[in-house]
Amino acid sequence: QKEVEQDPGPLSVPEGAIVSLNCTYSNSAFQYFMWYRQYSRKGPELLMYTYSSGNKEDGRFTAQVDKSSKYISLFIRDSQPSDSATYLCAMSAGTSYDKVIFGPGTSLSVIP
Amino acid sequence: ETGVTQTPRHLVMGMTNKKSLKCEQHLGHNAMYWYKQSAKKPLELMFVYSLEERVENNSVPSRFSPECPNSSHLFLHLHTLQPEDSALYLCASSPGLWGTQYFGPGTRLLVL
């Protein structure tokens, strides 16, 4: 079993739709969860950062962590064409000995 | 801009060439990373430096040679590469080892 799994997509939605992007993981020690957005031909950009379980909201973006199910989600409300990118989840147990593990990314296209 | 710059942005090299990739971070971070990103694959960690000391060498072939002269600069020296080494090479930095990472724009490498 891979340590972090993510549906690669591609996911195509109409402008204005609510988008749900998800990752599952196997290591129960993970406590820090991140979402990165990567535009074509650019490096990943940190979008959201959460610790432990619960929700965190930032504008149109909501990150949700369910540690009991080992499942994290990123919701995008009122999606825009500018949201078209690849979204990478990443997670870590959080000590200086624990690597950050990245998912393979989900490609999202928001159609005007 | 994330405060992490990479040069060159694009590089084409033959299998017998020697070239170097450069990364510079202006964030005052203590840890720097090299990743390889190939199509449809998760980020592959290559090397990690913390306070200029290499702390991780993730079974990378010796044709890739990192150098970290100070905490702001990281190089990846390339020689006798193979076509399968063609990929996007990303540099990242974090405040401390395995902290939240901030990525540069990447160098897209093509080996002919």
Q: What is the pLDDT of residue A1?
A: 65
- Look at residue B57 in the predicted model and tell me its pLDDT: 73
Q: What is the pLDDT of residue A96?
A: 64
Between B89 and A2, whose confidence is greater? B89
- Indicate whether B98 pLDDT > 90: no
pLDDT of amino acid A2: 75
CA B27, B2, B48, A56 torsion-angle sign: positive
Are A86 and B37 spatial neighbours (Cβ–Cβ below 8 Å)?
Answer: no
A-side interface with B, Cβ within 8 Å?
Answer: 4, 8, 32, 34, 36, 41-46, 49, 88, 90, 92, 94-100, 102-105
Tens-place pLDDT, residues A19-68: 999 999 999 999 999 999 999 888 999 999 898 888 999 999 999 999 99
Is residue A81 pLDDT above 80, yes or no?
Answer: yes
Q: How many CB pairs under 8 A join A and B?
A: 51
Given a cut of 90, whether residue B42 has pLDDT beyond it is: no
Q: What share of chain B in percent tops pLDDT 70?
A: 99
* Residues of chain B neighbouring A47 (CB-CB closer than 8 A): none
**Residue B2 neighbours by CB distance under 10 Å:** 19
Asked whether the beta carbons of residue A42 and residue B4 sit closer than 8 angstroms, the reply is: no
CA B81 to chain centre: 15
Average pLDDT over every residue of B59-75: 93
Cα separation of B94 and A58, whole Å? Answer: 22
Question: Do A35 and A74 contact (CB within 8 A), yes or no?
Answer: yes
Query: What's the pLDDT score for residue B59?
Result: 80
